[in-house]
Amino acid sequence: MAEYDTIRTAGVSGARAAQIDEGLRAHMNKVYGTMSVGMLITALAAWAISGLAVSSVPSAYQIGADTYLTSFGAAIYASPLKWLIMFAPLIFVFGLSAMVNRMSASAAQLMFYTFAAVMGLSLSSIFLVYTSTSIAQVFLITAISFAGLSLYGYTTKKDLSGWGTFLMMGLIGLIVASIVNIFLASPAMVFAISVIGVLIFAGLTAYDTQTIKNTYIQMAVTGDQEWLGKAAIMGALSLYLDFINMFIMLLSLFGNRE
């Protein structure tokens, strides 16, 4: 197994290597488990909020043949509040990254779940734009792709660390292009951003998985369980963001609009 090769490289062998390998499996289970709970919170929050935002009762905000925004929906989708909702998840990510060293593992986990709920609010508009069937189909495609890419990142013996700089540069370019296109509203640019975004987040899924694994192996010898607990939360956050962003990009490419 690839983890044994990494452990030997670190100069650890025998019973200690087996102990670290067992701890690695538990660590990765916690990463994926935390990420999965975050995904569930996001999905439930998005579905619940979208249900409160639309109505068949006529109002001043018509968005379909027989679909209207409620006063709550108008407040979050047709007012300046939408900009706060759009950028709130980004603020949470920066805040969690900056404060995680000063937080306990349990506090970091709570903040991650709060972030997942806020992300659900931000994503709730997809239920107004795309059909429920296409959302489910694209989610399944994303889940299968994510699982394969993450498995590759975990098992490959190839060092993926060289991908980091290239992927980060691509991600920054993608963010800049997305912000610019808010004002340009170019369909061709949306398509290009989505295609490139899928490739970037596919690469990040494999890269982040290997990074989480190698970080655990390097730090497990210290026995600092509090630090490892917070590392699991940050690893879950990284993979969560990879999944969500890949899902959004694929939905933009293949989703059927209402």
How many whole angstroms separate alpha carbon 70 and alpha carbon 76? 10
How many whole angstroms separate alpha carbon 167 and alpha carbon 164? 5
Please tell me the predicted confidence (pLDDT) of residue 14.
58
> How many independent structural domains does the chain possess?
1
Please tell me the predicted confidence (pLDDT) of residue 102.
87
How many whole angstroms separate alpha carbon 190 and alpha carbon 182? 10
Phi/psi of residue 119, nearest 5 degrees: -65, -35
Which amino acid, 224? D
Please tell me the predicted confidence (pLDDT) of residue 98.
85
Please give the model's pTM, rounded to 2 decimal places: 0.88
How many whole angstroms separate alpha carbon 208 and alpha carbon 252? 24
Q: Cα 167 from chain centroid?
A: 15
Domain that holds residue 28: 2-254
Q: Would you say 232 and 25 are in contact if contact means Cβ atoms under 8 Å apart?
A: no
pLDDT in tens, the chain (258 residues): 444 454 444 455 556 667 777 889 999 999 999 999 999 999 999 999 998 888 888 887 887 777 888 888 888 888 888 888 888 888 888 888 888 888 888 999 999 999 999 999 999 999 888 998 999 999 999 999 999 999 999 999 999 999 999 999 999 999 999 989 988 889 999 999 999 999 999 999 999 999 999 999 888 776 667 888 899 999 999 999 999 999 999 999 998 886
Q: Would you say 211 and 232 are in contact if contact means Cβ atoms under 8 Å apart?
A: no
* Widest distance between CA atoms in the chain: 71
How many whole angstroms separate alpha carbon 77 and alpha carbon 74? 5
Which amino acid, 102? R
How many CA atoms, within 13 angstroms, populate the side-chain half-sphere of residue 214?
Answer: 18
Please tell me the predicted confidence (pLDDT) of residue 17.
66
Residue (of 194, 203, 227, 245) closest to 90 by Cα position? 245
Q: Cα 48 from chain centroid?
A: 20
Please tell me the predicted confidence (pLDDT) of residue 79.
86
